[in-house]
Structure 1
Amino acid sequence: MIRWIVALVLVLGLGSCKDDPVREVVLAQTPEGRSFYFMEARGKGVDQVAMTIAWPTDWVYDAGNNPAVPHIAAQTILSGGTEDLRPQDVMTFFNDHNAFGRLDATVDHVIGRLVFAPEDRPQVIAIANEMLVTPQLDPDWVTRMTEDFRARVEDSWTQSSTHMWVLARRAILGDVPIWRGIDLPDRSVIAQVTPADLKAWHATTIVGNNLTIVVTGALSAQDAGEAVDSLLAGLPDGPAVQKPTTEPDFEPITVLLHRPEAEKTLVAFTGELPSADRGHDFETHLALQLFARSGDGPLFEAVRTNLRASYGFGAWYANMNRAIRVLNIAGEVETAKLQETVDVVRETYSAYRTGPETQAFAGMRDDLAADVKENTQNPDVAADVILQLALDGLDPAQATPFEQQVKEMTPQALTDTLTTAFPAAQSLSVIAVSADADALPGACVITEIAQIERCK
């Protein structure tokens, strides 16, 4: 399905191997004057370069634009080959050289990622530049990419989980362009995408100005700057991006979507969390890990061990755009125990939010710190961390001490985050999907997602 924008991502920090020099994020300039964030990373196991670029976009905020275009365009541009290389030739070259390139469309940015060995830089950059500046957009290739995307979307809509999450997002966002861009409730727009649409999107989106750029890995700042200029050479400046403010609605509601064909009953609790630029990321992540951990976590014990009503429950957060972050607690439950499960989850969450048990805190905190250190040895991960910090308006230079920040986290900091940043239990909405229309007494029962307005 079309996933939550910036779905749950563990915000990782940057470490260095004991044989590495200290890694430092700096703001550098290319020979042609472009600003970019740079972190040199050399040492054992570091043999690649990662370039990450964010192009701002307001495409899906305009109701006059086809919301399927960004998804198909991003998939097509870096897979459609060049004037001299067929798509399969480019794929073979990248695979043979252990290189990687892709574009991902979100509602606020198009994120481009390019990973390669330092010695392959000239060839990889030249191919990627041609695909960015003059994408082929062959009609047959566009049709193939469009059909592939349509099939994946249609398949996702056969699943009850898709209906539940689309309904949850519609309840929060309303029937606005950004929601239609995330979830594509009208799948017929996919078949309406043409090469001309992709060219229009490319002309206004993949441009040479207003970019956020990050380069990390085994190269010098001079080489990194030259790589940036070469990759972006020939891209014209584009128009200013203007996005309207999206006002979310987190007024709590209880809704049951009746789907007679549903093979299982699902339920989700949603609530508002502060956006990423407000901080609390590590505390938020660890608080949810402690709450939903398998075996002896409060949520697991309440729903799975004691009530024996769930086949699996989890808790996480997700971002709809860079300003709207949502708390999710969800799982599959026994239909006959749906109401009891809703009551138990509310009670368990309320007790945890106001008085979390911290017996497992130290061990899980140290595990998180170890994950931070291990995962960010990869320049690709490091580049994405730096980029996300920059896009959130935070200082990417703070990336270097993240491992230490995790180690210094205290139980009191966790408690403070839960009580000040997490929504109260009574502020959570309940969204359920079931074949039994009477499974949740008192709920607003609907049969179509568009009927959600009657529940407010």
Structure 2
Amino acid sequence: MTERTRLGYGLIGLILLLLLGLMVWLANLPPRPTAPAGEAPTAPARLESLAGLNGEPPVHRALNIQDWRTAEGARVLFVEARQLPMFDLRLTFAAGSSQDGDTPGLALLTNAMLNEGVPGKDATAIAEGFESLGAQFGNGSYRDMAIASLRSLSDPAKREPALALFGEVLGRPDFPADALARIKNQLQAGFEMRKQSPGKLASLELNRQLFGVHPYAHPSDGDTESIAPISRERLQAFHASAYTAANAVIALVGDLSRSEAEAMAASISAALPKGPALARPADPMPPRPGLQHIEYPSQQTHLMLAQLGIARDDPDYAALYLGNQILGGGGFGARLMEEVREKRGLTYGIYSGFTPMQVRGPFMINLQTRADYSQGTLELVQKLVREFIAEGPTEKELKDAKRELIGSFPLSTASNADIVGQLGAIGFYNLPLNHLELFLQQVQALSVGQVKAAMARHIDPNGFVVVSAGPTVEQKPLPPPTTPAERPAAMPEH
């Protein structure tokens, strides 16, 4: 008998022993419990189809939002969530770039410097302090708002020191000179890089054309001329006026009681500067429609179309959200994607969307296409918008958009981090506490006529500001549309 044969027999014997052991183990398992007499046995869990919901929304986390104000004037929104031994805290300040005044980039630079140093601690000590407690600090600055966030364990032994350090960072940043110089250099490097991006250049020009002299017109991160002269004293002054408790919304979600949440909110509120809330920006003036071209050596042309849209608290928000999903916000199922990419192959992607803000933000359509097709593509997009405004969505488009939105809606409150973001928006834009439920109810009740009317009220097909960035080349006629090939229903036979 060869060595290979002996190994083969040995392997077969080992497999037989394993099978015998498995049979003995199964024979000795306790019997499965049976249903008591008169009761039906429990059916195994199975996946459910969205079709079985009959238009009703899937179950999502019901939010019991508690709302109060601190002694210093900060609004607090709190949701108790005991599933995990942690909490998420987010402060939203009306301290975005719309408050920059004559110094674009001031708000962003102030926010970026918050965790660079406090009395007795540099940036490294702050980072190590949060890390040693298993806590995470976050911050960011946008057009309307600036945020600062903390995620930590709810155990008081971890929670209290993390909260104390968070209060120092928000209430007593000292804006050290070396960190200020470093971050300015990083911003200046970014300004040089964006000169090489036709899409970024088009976006900056679009905001200038759309908003004119309004604070939304300038870039949130400023520019070379505005950032360079910003001093430590200027940052301190902006922090003292914009990071006050009265200018803040405190959102809190996690493993906390109401009394613990009140104590935490009071502690953070007291650590902030004292002062009034800042005034919201004025409404922007409607722009003059027209086309601006940026000459840029490339194979592709960036096309951006925009006009003023809505503020976040506009009563047509739900109808416009759903209408835009059908027009261009819903990915491959949207009309613009179907007509411009799928049928004609003119772009890899085209997207439209409203950006509601404190006051009227933009409604925008953007895409890239071949430079020699840019004029025809622009005309096609404008034609598709005119048709959608004139005719509205079809019943099928509306039904499909509702089903997709309803199916994805539970994701908006799937985690504590999702919920704290929703609370911040509800408080900042002064929306009703049951905003999420109202939004879903409004979407379900919308008819084709209501969506069509809302889109017609807020979108003028002839009112677009258009910016293109690319080379000036001879234009070609667009290829004719084709019907996209249907995918096979099953694997082909060979």
**TM-score normalized by the length of structure 1:** 0.81
What do the CA deviations read for 1:112-146 (whole angstroms, capped 9, x no partner)?
32222212321211101111222132211222222
**Partners of 1:58 and 1:107 within 8 A in 2:** yes
Aligned CA distance change for structure 1 residues 109 and 314 (closer, same or farther; 3 Å) = closer
Deviates more, 1:369-378 or 1:91-100: 91-100
The match for 2:326 is 290
The match for 1:204 is 241
Q: 1:307 aligns with which of 335, 344, 347?
A: 344
Q: Secondary structure at the match of 2:88?
A: strand
What does 1:59-98 correspond to in 2, within 5 Å? 61=99, 63-64=101-102, 66-77=103-114, 79-95=115-131, 97-98=133-134
Aligned CA distance change for structure 1 residues 176 and 187 (closer, same or farther; 3 Å) = farther
In 2: Cα distance, 1:145 partner to 1:58 partner: 18
**Partners of 2:371 and 2:473 within 8 A in 1:** no
The match for 1:255 is 292
Instruction: Give the count of matched residue pairs.
Output: 417
| Alpha-carbon shift at residue 58 of structure 1 (Å) | 8.3
Q: 1:39 aligns with which of 79, 83, 90?
A: 79
| Alpha-carbon shift at residue 164 of structure 1 (Å) | 0.9
Q: Secondary structure at the match of 1:213?
A: strand
Aligned CA distance change for structure 1 residues 348 and 164 (closer, same or farther; 3 Å) = same
**Partners of 2:281 and 2:359 within 8 A in 1:** no
**Partners of 1:217 and 1:379 within 8 A in 2:** yes
Q: Secondary structure at the match of 1:212?
A: strand
**Partners of 2:306 and 2:365 within 8 A in 1:** yes
**Partners of 1:288 and 1:315 within 8 A in 2:** yes
What does 1:309-348 correspond to in 2, within 5 Å? 309-319=346-356, 321-348=357-384
**Partners of 1:207 and 1:237 within 8 A in 2:** yes
Alignment pair present for 1:349 and 2:385: yes
Alignment pair present for 1:371 and 2:398: no
The match for 1:165 is 203
Aligned CA distance change for structure 1 residues 406 and 223 (closer, same or farther; 3 Å) = farther
The match for 1:415 is 452
In 2: Cα distance, 1:213 partner to 1:296 partner: 38
Bigger Rg, structure 1 or 2? 2
Q: 2:220 aligns with which of 162, 165, 182?
A: 182
Aligned CA distance change for structure 1 residues 61 and 409 (closer, same or farther; 3 Å) = same
The match for 1:27 is 67
**Partners of 1:208 and 1:235 within 8 A in 2:** yes
In 2: Cα distance, 1:351 partner to 1:97 partner: 57
What root-mean-square deviation, in Å, do the aligned CA atoms of Structure 1 and Structure 2 show? Answer: 3.1
| Alpha-carbon shift at residue 70 of structure 1 (Å) | 1.4
Q: Secondary structure at the match of 2:151?
A: strand
Aligned CA distance change for structure 1 residues 355 and 130 (closer, same or farther; 3 Å) = closer
The match for 1:216 is 253
Unmatched tracts of structure 2, length 5 or more: 1-56, 477-494
**TM-score normalized by the length of structure 2:** 0.75
In 1: Cα distance, 2:69 partner to 2:289 partner: 48
Q: Secondary structure at the match of 2:113?
A: helix
Letter aligned with residue 377 of structure 2: T
Aligned CA distance change for structure 1 residues 333 and 296 (closer, same or farther; 3 Å) = same
What does 1:399-438 correspond to in 2, within 5 Å? 399-400=436-437, 402-421=439-458, 423-436=459-472
| Alpha-carbon shift at residue 276 of structure 1 (Å) | 1.6
| Alpha-carbon shift at residue 318 of structure 1 (Å) | 2.1
In 1: Cα distance, 2:195 partner to 2:82 partner: 45
What do the CA deviations read for 1:147-201 (whole angstroms, capped 9, x no partner)?
22332343233211111111111112114554235363x4232222222222222
Aligned CA distance change for structure 1 residues 29 and 429 (closer, same or farther; 3 Å) = closer
The match for 2:23 is none
In 1: Cα distance, 2:457 partner to 2:430 partner: 22
| Alpha-carbon shift at residue 328 of structure 1 (Å) | 0.9
In 1: Cα distance, 2:321 partner to 2:82 partner: 29
In 2: Cα distance, 1:427 partner to 1:34 partner: 40
**Partners of 2:372 and 2:473 within 8 A in 1:** no
In 2: Cα distance, 1:253 partner to 1:295 partner: 29
Letter aligned with residue 137 of structure 2: G
What do the CA deviations read for 1:33-82 (whole angstroms, capped 9, x no partner)?
85422222233xx4432222233348755654x222211110111x2144
Aligned CA distance change for structure 1 residues 75 and 439 (closer, same or farther; 3 Å) = farther
**Partners of 1:268 and 1:430 within 8 A in 2:** yes
Q: 1:229 aligns with which of 266, 278, 288?
A: 266
In 1: Cα distance, 2:272 partner to 2:230 partner: 24
| Alpha-carbon shift at residue 265 of structure 1 (Å) | 0.6
Letter aligned with residue 39 of structure 1: V
Asked which structure has the greater RCO (Cα within 8 Å, sep 6+), the reply is: 1
What do the CA deviations read for 1:271-328 (whole angstroms, capped 9, x no partner)?
2222221133333233222223444532123222333322321111224x51122111
Q: 2:275 aligns with which of 234, 238, 262?
A: 238
In 1: Cα distance, 2:311 partner to 2:263 partner: 35
**Partners of 1:248 and 1:324 within 8 A in 2:** no
In 2: Cα distance, 1:14 partner to 1:68 partner: 43
Aligned CA distance change for structure 1 residues 291 and 243 (closer, same or farther; 3 Å) = closer
**Partners of 1:15 and 1:403 within 8 A in 2:** no
Q: 2:192 aligns with which of 154, 176, 179?
A: 154
Aligned CA distance change for structure 1 residues 109 and 355 (closer, same or farther; 3 Å) = closer
| Alpha-carbon shift at residue 202 of structure 1 (Å) | 1.6
Letter aligned with residue 261 of structure 2: A
